[in-house]
Amino acid sequence: MKLFTPFELGAVTLKNRIVMSPMTRSRAIGNIPNDLMAAYYGQRAGAGLIITEGTSPSPNGLGYARIPGIFNQEQIDGWKKVTKTVHDKGSKIFVQIMHTGRIAHPLNLPEGAQALAPSAVKPAGQMWTDAQQMQDFEVPKEMTTDEVAYAKTEYVKAAKNAMEAGFDGIELHSANGYLLEQFLSPVSNTRTDNYGGSIENRTRFVIEVATEVANIIGAEKTGIRLSPYGVASDMPHYPEIDATYKYLAEQLSNLNIAYIHVVDHSALGAPAVPLEIKQTIRKAFKNAIILAGGHTKESAEAELQSGLADLEAFGRPFINNPDLVERFKNNQPLSTDLHMDQFYSPGEKGYTDYPVYA
C-alpha cells in the first residue's frame, strides 16, 4: 500500500505517509509542555509525521484552557522533551502554531493578554473555562495596524523557537476559525484597510505571515492548514470561498512552502468540503497536499492512489489507538473504546492510558 511508503516532505524523509492530525488535548498545565505530553506523542510515533496540538505564538492566543504556547523559554524547554521522544522513536514532528484570535475568553487568558481579531465581531457560542465552566464568547478587540504587524513578529518568533525546540518544521493554523482564518473570511473580517475587503486584502495577513516565517526557518519547513467550507468556531459560508482559496493556494505555491493540509470535518457532522475545492487546491499548489477528515485505511489509500493527496492525516483514531500504524499494517481491528469526556480533561486518563493491540 502507498500509505506505508516513505515520502520526501520538504527537508525531511517520512517513514510512511500517515500523519497524526493536530488535536487539542488541554494537558499543558500552565501552558507549558510536560513529560505527560512527551509520553503521549512518543506512544504515537509510528506515524511518519506528527503535527502537534495547536500551540500559541502569543499570550493573546491562549484562548482555551491548558493549551501550550511556544513564546517563552520554559515552553521551548518543555517542547524539547517532546521532540526528543518522537525523534528517538523514528518519527518527524511539526508544531502547529495556533493563535486563537477571537475564539478565547478572558478567564483563559493570562494577565495582560486580550482576545484580538481582525474586527470586533463576536463569535456565536460558548467555551470552557476552568474558573467558571462554560461561558459566552465576548466581543474581541479589533486589531490596530500596529497590532497586526506585531502579531506577525510573534508568529516569526514562535517559528524560530520551534527550531530551537527541535521541531522538524511548523504548521500555520489557518483553519477552524482561528486568527489566520478570521482574516480570510468577510464575515469575521469587516476591515476597510489593506487587510479587509477584496480577496487580495483578506488573504494578505496569512500570506505575509507565511512569507516571513518561510524566510526565517525555510519554506521547506513551513506548512499550513486550511478548512475551506469549514464552519468551526462560527465561520459561516460566503460566496467567494472558492475564489479565496484558489488565490491563496496559488500564492502559497509561489512561496514554495512544504505543504497545504486541508481538513474536512464532515465526519463530525459539519458540511462536507466539496471535492472540487480540494481539486482546485491540488492543481494550484505544486508541493505536498495532506488531506484529513474521517478516513479509513481504505479511503486514505484511495486518495493517495488517485493523486488527490500525498499524505493522509488521521485524528481521532490516534487517540484510542496509539499503535494505529501497526494496526493498519497488520490488519488488526481498531479500538472502539473512546472516552470523549476525557478529550480535554487534565491528567493521563483518556490520554496516555489507551493500550496497544494485544
Asked about 155 being catalytic, the answer comes back as no
CB-based burial, 283-319: b 16+ in 10 Å, e otherwise:
ebbebbbbbbbebebeebbebbeeebbbbbbbbebbb
Place of cell 494485544: 358
Percentages of the chain per state (helix, strand, coil), in multiples of 5: 40, 15, 45
Burial classification of residue 13, based on how many CB atoms lie within 10 Å of its CB (0-12 exposed, 13-18 middle, 19 or more buried): exposed
Is residue 28 a contact partner of residue 14, using CB atoms and an 8 Å limit? no
How does strand 169-174 pair with strand 92-97? parallel
Return the bridge partners of 96, or none. Answer: 54, 171
Q: The C-alpha cell of 61 is what? A: 492566543
- Catalytically annotated residue among 40, 178, 351, 354: 178
Assigned C-alpha cell, 226? 486550511
The three cell numbers of residue 342 are 476525557
| Catalytic sites, residue numbers | 178
